[in-house]
Every structure is written in C-alpha cells, then in structure tokens.
Amino acid sequence: MAFFTLKLYRKQSIRKKNMQIKKIFLFLVLVLSLNGICFGATYYMATDGSDTTGDGSSGNEWLTLQHSMALMSGGDTLIIRDGVYTG
C-alpha cells in the first residue's frame, strides 16, 4: 500500500511540475507576443520638414500633421518641434 501511495504521489508531483512548466511557457509566449504591440515607433514633425523627402526620423522630419497621421499606426508617438505651423 505504501508503494502505491508513493507512486501516486510521484505522478501528482510530475503533473504539478508539468502544469507549472506549461504556465511559464504560456506566460513567456504572451509577453513576447505583446512586445511588438506595446511599443510603437517615434516620429518627428518640424516646420522645416518635408512630406516628400522626410521619413519622420529626427533630423528628417515630416512637415504636416495630415501626412504624419496618414503614415502612423496605433501606439506610435509624434514629436512636434517648436514653430508656427500653417496650412
């Protein structure tokens, strides 16, 4: 009887460890899959930027808000440099 109880305890212990490994694996998959979703790109806009040659990077900014918004996705950030914007 004691042997059967020990064998049953080992099976339960292995099941618990397997369940813990599955939980950790699922958690890591979830965290790694959300990594790309949570972090958006940062773009820049300036009065001396260009919508035709600018790529939205620092030093090669976009000129207009309409152009910036058309190219951005959810989660992205737009840094608007100081200046007077017209149009």
pLDDT band, very low/low/confident/very high, at 35 (cuts 50, 70, 90)? low
Average pLDDT over residues 8-27: 84
Contact (CB, 8 A) for 54 and 61: yes
d(CA 38, CA 77): 12
To the question of pTM greater than 0.75 for the whole model, the response is no
Q: 47 CB contacts (<8 Å, ≥6 apart)? A: 63, 81, 83, 84, 85
The pairing of strands 77-80 and 42-45 is parallel
